[in-house]
């Protein structure tokens, strides 16, 4: 049974990851809102990782940082504060919690860190300048820290395509938009949070002991296929 800290486990992909891991691990969820799930293995700490002091954790084997943003605007409408906010959420928050827990992680059992990017860092999608810039920073951290912390701590990231969560609700707000997004993907689907959680569960498990510094495109074929 591992000690797993999940930042942002009360909604969306983070919540799906909590649901996937909670039966066989001790989970500490750090987020502003409390998860709807109640379980003996789940502890919630109310905290905004960007602005609040971070809690002390006694023991940790795995850190999963889930917060993200989908701030889609034409470049003429993006303000510098949009870029700053996206960078704060996606990069600074991750760096802050990693630095805070690093010593405890180094003493963990087969320790690992899992971060989240997006397919928009590879695709060059209109209106994604701010989020793609921030998530590209996440990918840089993944590779740099994977090298720096080897062989003690593994570091990986998942780059999902559109996922059916509240965060993506504006992209999936009507049947026409759902149909368009479905058709854009070669596999003619987009993601459910549980699919992302399945990959996350594998990457933080001992079955992935030989994997570090990797960005996994969970993309329904949209990055690498042209059909």
Q: What is the pLDDT along the chain (227 residues), one digit of tens a residue?
A: 999 999 999 999 999 999 999 999 999 999 999 999 999 999 999 999 999 999 999 999 999 999 998 889 999 999 999 999 999 999 999 999 999 999 999 999 999 999 999 999 999 989 999 999 999 999 999 999 999 999 999 999 999 999 998 888 878 889 999 999 999 999 999 999 999 999 999 999 999 999 999 999 999 999 999 87
CA angle 223, 138, 98 (to 5 degrees): 145
Q: How far apart are CA 53 and CA 30, in angstroms?
A: 12
The domain spans of the chain are 3-162+193-218
Q: What was the pLDDT predicted at 221?
A: 95
User: Could you tell me the pTM of the whole model?
Assistant: 0.95
* Domain 3-162+193-218 belongs in CATH node 3.40.50.720: yes
CB-CB contact of 214 with 157 (8 Å): yes
Side-chain half-sphere exposure of 112, counting CA atoms within 13 A:
24
CB-CB contact of 28 with 51 (8 Å): no
Which three-class secondary structure state does DSSP give residue 4? strand
92 CB-near residues (< 8 Å, 6+ apart): 50
Q: What was the pLDDT predicted at 227?
A: 79
């Amino acid at each position: 049974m591992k000690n797993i800290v999940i930042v942002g486990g009360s909604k969306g992909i983070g919540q799906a990851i909590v649901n996937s891991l909670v039966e066989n691990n001790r989970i500490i969820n750090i987020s502003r809102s409390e998860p709807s799930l109640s379980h003996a293995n789940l502890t919630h700490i109310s905290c905004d990782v960007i602005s609040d002091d971070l809690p002390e954790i006694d023991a940790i084997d795995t850190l999963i940082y889930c917060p993200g943003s989908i701030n889609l605007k034409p470049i003429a409408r993006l303000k510098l504060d949009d870029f700053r906010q996206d960078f704060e959420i996606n990069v600074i928050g991750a760096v802050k919690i990693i630095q805070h827990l690093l010593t405890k992680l180094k003493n963990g059992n087969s320790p690992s860190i899992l971060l989240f990017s997006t397919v928009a860092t590879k695709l060059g999608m209109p209106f994604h300048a701010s989020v793609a810039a921030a998530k590209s920073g996440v990918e840089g951290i993944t590779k740099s820290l994977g090298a720096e912390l080897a062989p003690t701590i593994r570091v990986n990231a998942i780059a999902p395509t559109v996922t059916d969560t509240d965060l993506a609700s504006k992209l999936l707000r009507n049947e026409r938009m759902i149909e368009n997004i479905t058709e854009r993907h070669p596999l003619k689907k987009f993601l459910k949070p549980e699919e992302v959680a399945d990959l996350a569960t594998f990457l933080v498990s001992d079955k992935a002991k030989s994997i570090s510094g990797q960005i996994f495109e969970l993309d329904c074929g949209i990055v690498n296929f042209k059909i």
